Amino acid sequence: MKPVLVIGGGIAGIQASLDLADRGTKVHLVERTPSIGGVMAQLDKTFPTMDCSICILAPKMIECYRHPNITIHTQSEVIGLEGNVGDFRIKVLEHPRSVDATKCTGCALCSEKCPVKKPSAFQVGLGQRKAIYLAFPQAVPLIATIDREACLWFTKGVCRTCEKVCTSKAVDYEQKENIVDLNVSSVIVATGFEQYDPKDIGEYGYGRYKNVLTALEFERLVCASGPTGGVLNRPSDGKVSHNIAFIQCVGSRTQTSGYSYCSASCCMYATKEAVLIKEHEPSSHVTIFYMDLKTFGKGFQGFVDRARSHWGVEYIRGRPGEIREDPVTKNLTILYENTEVGRVERLDADLVVLCTAAIPHRDNAKLATVLGIGQDEYGFFANPDPVASPVETDRPGIYSCGSCHGPRDIPESVAEASATAAKAAEDAARAEGVA
Amino acid sequence: MTTPRIGVFVCRCGINIAAYVDVPKVVEYAKTLPGVAYAEENMYTCSSDGLNKIKEAIKRHSLERVVVASCTPRTHEPLFQATCEEAGVNKYLFEMANIRDQCSWVHMKEPERATEKAEDLIRMAVAKAALLEPGEEPEIDVNPSTLVIGGGVAGMRAALSLANQGFTVTIVEKEPSLGGKLRSFDSLFPHKQKASGIIEPLIQSVTTHPRISVFTESSVKSVHGFIGNFDIGIDTKKGPESLNVGTIIVAVGAEILKPKGLYLYGEDPRVITQSELELMLRAGGVDSKRIVMIQCAGSRNEERPYCSRICCNEAVKNAITLIESGSEAYIIYRDLQTYGIHYSKLEQEAKRRGVKFLKYQAERPPTVSACPQSLRVSLYSPTVNEEIDLEADLIVLSTPLIPISDAKELSQMLKVPLESNGFFMEAHVKLRPIDFATDGIFVCGTAHSPKDVGESIAQALGAASRASIPMAKRRVRTAAITSQVDQTKCSGCGTCIDVCPYNAIRKNEKGLAETIAAVCKGCGVCGATCPEKAITMHHFTDEQIQAQGLAALEED
Amino acid sequence: MLIKKKSQKIVDKVNAEACDQCGKCPSSCPVTARVEGFNPRQIIAKVALGREVDLMKSQVIWTCTSCLKCKERCPEEISPYDIMLALRRIAIHLELPHPEGFDESAKVVAETGAVQQPQLVRTRNKERKDRKSMGLPPAEKPRDMAAYTETLRGILEEGEA
Amino acid sequence: MKYALYLGCTVQTEQYGYEASVRTTMPRLGVELVDMTGVSCCGFPPFSSVSELAWLYSSARNMAIAEGMGLPIFALCNGCHLSFVETKHKLEHSPELKAKMNEKLAREGLRYEGKAELIHIFELLHDVVGKDKITAAVSNPLEGLRFAAHPGCHAIRPSRIGRPDDPENPKKLDDLITWLGAEAADYPEKIDCCGSSLAAASGKTVLDIAGEKLKAVKRRGFDGLVTTCPFCFKVYDNKQRAIQATVGDRELEVPVFYYTQLLGLAIGVDQESLGLDLNQSPIDPVLEKIGGK
């Protein structure tokens, strides 16, 4: 039986890979970053059960890594696809890590000694990493990688400190990129989404005001493994924040941003983040500005009711018009209308969190061309018939799951991932001649 | 007997543990415990690096027992056990001490005492580890066939996928015909395709598929056995049938609330539900001039504190249809649940087409009064900040999906739980949305919670994938943590048989109790209730637990 | 009726039905915070409900500073400002009650080419100055005032067709 | 750098300080200004609330005259500039409307092609003349002074049809101030409206709105407020006494300048020719600090 190609190592890609591998199908899992895990690895807790995100994800990541039927290609991208369902010929480009995966033990001594600091993508820029680094402590595979744009050896021809300190001689500056040819029966696309950059919504001052963050940045701030160790030290002055406000529908449900749809999970993750703040410091004052509370998922309404009644999170229906920053204290003032009473008011906050639209990943167009599949008007991968064939793209044998074809929460992504595994299994059976 | 060589691995969990527990101190302490031959700390014991360290240590220090002091066994025990096995140590010789969730996280403000408690927990784990015994996991054969309970769109789609994968499937449907709730729908959102356009071809391929057999007007009456080997009893119109399957998929769907007495429903024929409107549209439409739809009719309240997910979108879809046929349509809502891309578009289309939306507040629900000519809906609109009266010829209540009436009965038969709202409860809300905690049984569609057709189909395919795993492998291993009845002590009183929630104990020919290892989940209820102390729980023997308890009380 | 027909033409163009009632306009508006009863969001809500005639008969449409924040920030590209102007024009055309000054100053412009004639202004120490004493050239006006006035009068009589 | 100077009603009939300071400073920066003859009101606001057609006609008419001169229009007033830009935009998108306009313009022997270019004083000074020319021209830097920039609503909104600066974070006027050696600083009330358009409906509210801003400017320790909009200037400067009365604060004194007045002082133009004696707000302390002729 031919293997299956899974593109994207987030929770959806991981689930699809494990389902197939567990039933005995060989899987090639292609991930563009140095580690699998995706956005879920960056989250602190998950709603509505408040499970520690990395704690429930890490075992699955490791399972992928240790599974005899799964081959993980990190820092890799699919650059070629030919053939048809049952017989796709794939080209995967593996970018060099500049570190020998077979030797590196992930001890991180190299990054400790590396002199170059860069903003850490895992910490969404709130924290720093070195030029040679591990994506994050639970990264899978736990292998260092060199950022050649930052590394002094690659940019200035000096340093080589990492090579000197590495006890297992794993550093390999000569490592070349590598093209792998695969022959697979089906392809599963699980490349996920990215966050809308709220800079364009100037009235909220993101990028201008240090204490206005995006929700993903906040996840890192509130996370024990984040840059502040889970203490809500706000960026401007490190002061612990007690008055925090969340603004929903930033970029989403917005004609002018180009993303006129509802991003589906923001109301709930904002509620979760609000509860986290209260758990950390019950005396904090947390406000969520929303338009419609989207509590359509299993257990959502109960979760919101609890946040309101038990934790005292305040919900106000109204999308603020403007955020102002005190030039001296850097405190923020939110101009808003409580639309349920038609009154215009002001709220002072130490920190404001913007819950931004979930938007198509910037690489979608490129991948769509390589795979020969369609995108919708926004750039998500298109499902021609989302009702009858929710995980089928417009090309037979290529399936999509998770937030790469529209906003999804984790359980939806997981369920869809299993669905794509079933479709791939059907293709394989057909190829095997099962009538 | 000499105490075995024990290795202790203390995880820092980044700062989750190390910030509050003095890990180096704890490691030094562990080294002093009886039987401990080696102890070390790891940044993340669960990282591949940490796991390699365990394997090396087992070899270098010829360890016979392994204790990891870190987080929770719920997520991490299987991983560490597998690691031990790879290094040649039986997985049942592994023990875990939870010094994070039950220690560092709850004692953030008192680090010294957190450190002490961590030492206590490790001392207890080590004491138990010394008495651990290797366990064997029986392998059982899996019958590559599935029972799908429910012949709606979810059930049929799951069945079809499994059949296409080469497995045999039996569908049991209580109605005379396949199709489920969708039979009564006119069109489907978001693309407003006809429901029949999805159902009919599906029924066609299901009924003609060589590996699918269908029992209509039938219901499951009994379920015995366990993953790989379930014995099912069915009542069919032709009398009782029995079959053996390896897996079960629960796709029984849901029912739609008929809100007697709410907004004059049941009292005035001009007040109907969204699903009754569907039937009218299916039959050719309505001639009412102005239709007012009321959302959250019977949901998001004390009695049903959940949002039914599909009602807003169904209302918007039907309102567009009504506008197209020249009527006027109002939707009175609390929070419009038009989520995601397709429903957002649908909402925008509705607004463009002139469907009027009015928000109401839960505290001030609308009232409906009947006049001879028409109905009047009175509501306070917080957004316009006014009392508004609407004359209506037809009022449509968007009522929630509710669990099927015999959900409880079925859940008891299958030994799977229901959640507080009465829908079937999955193994884990986030990462196991389609599995039940009981191996070999899966759930999909609206039996799990309200969802639309596309989402139900996705879950159905997902359930097919999950069910296919043990069947493709043909064999599964079951856990060795089971109860064992000491035939010399058992008095045959049968108490254990009554209390066992898994039907895992039977009386043998001697009239004495004996455990069916493959079915036993190791919950321990039998052991606790046995008046003769005849039942031993492997991996949780009295000796082991006593040792742990005594260690807890030790002063040092 | 005429008034509804006229307003309908406008309403069809302004996209009010797309409004999510999010509250961004009032919270940006300098007037809502100060003048009881003025709320651009509610104005849009009423237009969306087909009640623009009530608005034309009320004071609210005249209570705008034209700061344009509502128009600038509306996520749906709706402009309460332009809607108010449009409703004002119909109100004036149909001679519904409205604040003084609007049609007067329009007349003045139509007849003189400017809202007012060059003024005699005071300095801080109460001296009087005019363009001449400031050394500024004489004020400009249409060369063929008759044609200019006639054209504008014509347009004004046409009203919002 | 040659432009057709369009004054607009307010400047031409009362805001002589702005006109004078523009006429005296621009040539010194190499900007040649040609007066437009036969021009009329741009139509905003007098017509915008009465007849859209009359409003658009008024703007089209003046743009047609500029087209005849073959020069871009330099409109001093934010309102006029916006009115022209909006009209140009509307006529570009409606050929029928454009035809209708030309039919009416023909009676005065005018024709609007749609070629008329428009330039705002921010664009002219910030983007065309530029930092180097201005800093080079400064002979009397306004050191030690801190001004609050007030670009005015119509200079920055609606951005969709193109305005000279950012709608939420305008910076050009701040730059222009700093190029004169003075200091400019962001303040939360920067893009707040002066309220003047409310005059017809509720004069008191105008003074309330304006008063709040002046208070903020004073509270935040600015030496004065700087604008280029005659409407805003009228409220903040000419009506400052009335504002004091309305907000009940006699001490609420904020010097208000047209930017071109400060520009003149910095490049050594005498106060007389900058019409500084027309400013009603207490600017003398600032003038003393600046010194010069």
CA distance linking residue C38 with residue B532, whole number of Å: 81
Interface touch C106/D51, C-beta < 8 Å: yes
Answer whether C58's CB lies under 8 Å from C1's CB: no
Query: Which residue among A293, A339, A406 sits closest to B335, beta carbon to beta carbon?
Result: A293
Nearest chain B alpha carbon to A410 = B430
Top-confidence residue, A250 or C11: A250
Q: Which own/partner pairs from D165-174 qualify as long-range (CB within 8 Å, at least 24 positions apart)?
A: D165/D122, D166/A202, D167/A202, D167/C72, D167/D191, D168/A202, D168/A203, D168/A205, D169/A202, D169/A205, D169/A208, D172/D122, D172/D126, D172/D127, D173/D122, D173/D149, D173/D226, D173/D227, D173/D228, D173/D259, D174/D149
Asked if residue A408 has pLDDT above 90, the reply is: yes
By C-alpha distance, which of B152, B226, B218 is closest to B185? B152
By C-alpha distance, which of B186, B188, B391, B187 is closest to B291? B391
The confidence score (pLDDT) of residue C12 equals 79
Token reading at B125: 């784990």
Distance from CA of C127 to the nearest CA of A (A): 41
Distance from CA of C84 to the nearest CA of D (A): 9
Q: Which amino acid is at D23?
A: R
Query: Which residue among C18, C32, C73 sits closest to A344, beta carbon to beta carbon?
Result: C32
Query: Which residue among A249, A257, A335 sits closest to C27, beta carbon to beta carbon?
Result: A335
Asked if residue D271 has pLDDT above 80, the reply is: yes
Percentage of chain B lying above the pLDDT 90 cut: 84
Q: Which of residues 356-395 of A touch B (CB under 8 A)?
A: 376, 378, 380, 385-391
Lowest mean pLDDT among A106-120, C122-136, D86-100, D234-248: A106-120
Same domain, B397 and B285: yes
Neighbours of D22 (CB within 10 A): 28
Q: What is the pLDDT of residues B291-312, one digit of tens each?
A: 999 999 999 999 999 999 999 9
Touching check for B334 and chain C: CB below 8 Å? no
Q: What is the DSSP string of B172-208?
A: E-SSSSSBGGGGG-SEETTTTEEHHHHHHHHHHHHHH
Q: What is the pLDDT of residues C21-51, one digit of tens each?
A: 999 999 999 999 999 999 999 999 999 999 9
Same domain, B168 and B57: no
Instruction: Examine the fold and report which residue of B429, B445, B476 is the final residue of a domain before the chain moves on.
Output: B476
Between strands B247-250 and A193-195, the pairing is unpaired
Query: Which residue among B76, B341, B455 sits closest to A261, beta carbon to beta carbon?
Result: B341
pTM score over 0.90: yes
Q: What is the pLDDT of residues A223-240, one digit of tens each?
A: 988 999 889 999 999 999
Please report the beta strands in B196-289, taking only residues with DSSP state E, as ranges in sequence order: 212-215, 219-226, 229-236, 239-245, 247-250, 254-256, 271-273
Asked if residue D292 has pLDDT above 70, the reply is: no
| Site from B13, B16, B45, B48 to mutate, A interface, most A CB atoms within 10 angstroms | B48
* Mean pLDDT of all residues belonging to chain A: 96
Answer whether B463's CB lies under 8 Å from B444's CB: yes
Identify all chain C residues contacting B356, using CB atoms and an 8 Å cutoff: 48-49
Q: Which of residues 10-29 of A touch B (CB under 8 A)?
A: 11, 15, 19, 22-24
How many angstroms separate the Cα of C88 from the Cα of each of B246, C49, C95, C105, C143?
A: 75, 19, 10, 15, 31
Percentage of chain D lying above the pLDDT 70 cut: 99
Asked if residue B1 has pLDDT above 70, the reply is: no
Answer whether B137's CB lies under 8 Å from B477's CB: yes
Query: Which residue among D12, D201, D275 sits closest to C62, beta carbon to beta carbon?
Result: D201
Evaluate whether residue B546 is within a structural domain.
no
Evaluate whether residue B547 is within a structural domain.
no
* Mean pLDDT of all residues belonging to chain B: 94
Domain A4-95+177-192+361-431 coded CATH 3.50.50.60:
yes
CATH of the domain at B180: 3.50.50.60
Answer whether A75's CB lies under 8 Å from A34's CB: yes
Evaluate whether residue B460 is within a structural domain.
yes
CA distance linking residue D179 with residue D173, whole number of Å: 10
Query: Which residue among A224, A298, A414 sits closest to B431, beta carbon to beta carbon?
Result: A414
| Site from C25, C27, C73 to mutate, A interface, most A CB atoms within 10 angstroms | C27
Rounded to an integer, the average pLDDT of A391-411 is 98
The confidence score (pLDDT) of residue B344 equals 97
Confidence class of residue D59 from pLDDT cuts 50, 70 and 90? very high
Asked if residue C160 has pLDDT above 70, the reply is: no
Same domain, B23 and B119: yes
Q: What is the pLDDT of residues B100-125, one digit of tens each?
A: 989 998 898 899 999 999 999 999 99
Q: What is the pLDDT of residues D41-55, one digit of tens each?
A: 999 999 999 999 999
Interface touch C42/B384, C-beta < 8 Å: yes
Q: Which fold has domain D2-119?
A: Glutathione S-transferase Yfyf (Class Pi); Chain A, domain 2 (1.20.1050)
Question: Which residues are CB-contacts of D126 (< 8 A; sequence separation ≥ 6)?
Answer: D164, D172, D175, D176
Answer whether A4's CB lies under 8 Å from A188's CB: yes
CA dihedral B465, B469, B471, B474 (to 10 degrees): 160
Q: Which of residues 4-33 of C touch B (CB under 8 A)?
A: 17-18, 21
Rounded to an integer, the average pLDDT of A97-125 is 92
Q: Which amino acid is at A246?
A: F
From the options 3.40.50.11810, 3.40.640.10, 3.40.50.150, 3.30.565.10, give the CATH code of D141-290. 3.40.50.11810
Distance from CA of D2 to the nearest CA of C (A): 19
Rounded to an integer, the average pLDDT of A111-118 is 95
Touching check for B356 and chain C: CB below 8 Å? yes
Percentage of chain A lying above the pLDDT 90 cut: 92
Number of domains in chain B: 4
Asked if residue D120 has pLDDT above 90, the reply is: yes
Asked if residue A333 has pLDDT above 50, the reply is: yes
Token reading at B113: 């005492």
Asked if residue D247 has pLDDT above 80, the reply is: yes
ipTM of the complex in this document: 0.95
Interface touch C76/A336, C-beta < 8 Å: no
Asked if residue C161 has pLDDT above 60, the reply is: no
DSSP-assigned beta bridge partners for residue A78: A92
Answer whether A248's CB lies under 8 Å from A355's CB: yes
Interface touch D167/A202, C-beta < 8 Å: yes
Rounded to an integer, the average pLDDT of A372-386 is 97
Find the domain containing B315 and state its range: 256-401
How many angstroms separate the Cα of A288 from the Cα of each of A230, A353, A362, B445?
A: 20, 9, 29, 32
The confidence score (pLDDT) of residue D293 equals 44
Residues spanned by CATH 3.50.50.60 within chain A? 4-95+177-192+361-431, 197-357
Asked if residue A186 has pLDDT above 70, the reply is: yes
Same domain, B180 and B243: yes
The confidence score (pLDDT) of residue B473 equals 95
Rounded to an integer, the average pLDDT of B315-331 is 96
Residues spanned by CATH 3.40.50.11810 within chain D? 141-290
Lowest mean pLDDT among A48-52, A192-196, C147-151: A48-52
Confidence class of residue A358 from pLDDT cuts 50, 70 and 90? very high
Top-confidence residue, B479 or C139: C139
The confidence score (pLDDT) of residue C158 equals 82
Q: Which fold has domain A197-357?
A: FAD/NAD(P)-binding domain (3.50.50)
Asked if residue A302 has pLDDT above 90, the reply is: yes
Same domain, B187 and B263: no
Interface touch A339/C73, C-beta < 8 Å: no
Neighbours of A84 (CB within 10 A): 11
Query: Which residue among A66, A386, A415 sits closest to B433, beta carbon to beta carbon?
Result: A415
CA distance linking residue D179 with residue D119, whole number of Å: 20
CATH of the domain at B495: 3.30.70.20
The confidence score (pLDDT) of residue B556 equals 57
Rounded to an integer, the average pLDDT of C10-23 is 90
- At CB < 8 Å, which residues of chain A contact D? 202-203, 205, 208, 324-327, 333
All chains having 3 or more CB pairs closer than 8 angstroms to chain B: A, C
How many angstroms separate the Cα of C30 from the Cα of each of A375, D194, D214, D217?
A: 43, 9, 15, 17
Percentage of chain D lying above the pLDDT 90 cut: 97
Domain spans of chain C, in order of start: 2-93, 102-156
